[in-house]
Amino acid sequence: MHIEPIQNLISRLARLPGIGTKSAQRLAYHVLEMSDSSARELADAILSAHDKVHHCSVCGNYTDKETCAICSDNARNDNLICVVQDARDVFAIEKTREFKGKYHVLCGAISPMDGVGPDDIRIKELVDRIKKEKDTSFEVILATNPDIEGEATAVYISRLLKPLGVKVTRIAHGIPIGGNLEYVDEMTLLKAVEGRREM
């Protein structure tokens, strides 16, 4: 129904996450009405982000340098590593402005259903990184997602790391702040009761 350049743009946009055909159409029409410079800047921003950004050689976080700003920051605690599934999780934790350790991005989680085994994600790099450290006060916080894959990954990693004499912890699961007991699912409530702490 649309002419080819518009149809092509709509189908490209509709492949993006959270963009349906209707939104893609709306965005495409918006692109048509943009100024020349805005359209060019949008296209350049896509290419430039895609080309310049890669994973940090140490932790796997996104960076446009060899090592990321967090790994290069000497003010951060080298003996505290937070393990996350995705580079975007680093951003989520950084937003709390409280965590002063470093990160290790796995770039995925163990998922036999999807054919992702322990060797397909950056677990070996994590073990190598920890073996290099001499410090015994080392702590690894496992902050993988609280779903089957994330949980399995956390268990797998903790079994690998404990023999190395490393303290391994898991982030707490429980009622979110501002949440309402009544509307929380049973599994979360169970975890909240199990994980109770003395006041």
Contacting positions for its own copies (CB under 8 A):
1-6, 8-9, 12-13, 15-19, 23, 25-32, 34, 36, 38-53, 62-64, 68-69, 86-88, 91, 94-95
Q: Which residues have CB under 8 Å from 68's CB, separation 6+? A: 56, 58, 59, 61, 62
Comparing CB distances to its own copies, the nearer of 45 and 172 is 45
Comparing CB distances to its own copies, the nearer of 65 and 131 is 65
The distance of closest approach from Cβ of residue 189 to its own copies in the complex, given in angstroms and rounded to an integer, is 27
The distance of closest approach from Cβ of residue 33 to its own copies in the complex, given in angstroms and rounded to an integer, is 9
The distance of closest approach from Cβ of residue 89 to its own copies in the complex, given in angstroms and rounded to an integer, is 10
Pairing mode of beta strands 54-55, 80-84: unpaired
Instruction: Name the H helices within the chain.
Output: 4-14, 21-33, 36-52, 87-94, 123-132, 148-161, 186-194
Q: Which residues have CB under 8 Å from 83's CB, separation 6+? A: 103, 104, 106, 126, 140, 141, 142, 143, 144, 157
The distance of closest approach from Cβ of residue 7 to its own copies in the complex, given in angstroms and rounded to an integer, is 9
Q: Which residues have CB under 8 Å from 31's CB, separation 6+? A: 9, 39, 42
Comparing CB distances to its own copies, the nearer of 17 and 165 is 17
Comparing CB distances to its own copies, the nearer of 108 and 118 is 108
CA 149 to chain centre: 14
Residue 168, strand partner residues: 140
The distance of closest approach from Cβ of residue 65 to its own copies in the complex, given in angstroms and rounded to an integer, is 8
3-class state of residue 141 by DSSP: strand
Comparing CB distances to its own copies, the nearer of 23 and 158 is 23
Q: What residue type is assigned to position 178 of the chain?
A: G
Comparing CB distances to its own copies, the nearer of 13 and 126 is 13
The distance of closest approach from Cβ of residue 193 to its own copies in the complex, given in angstroms and rounded to an integer, is 31
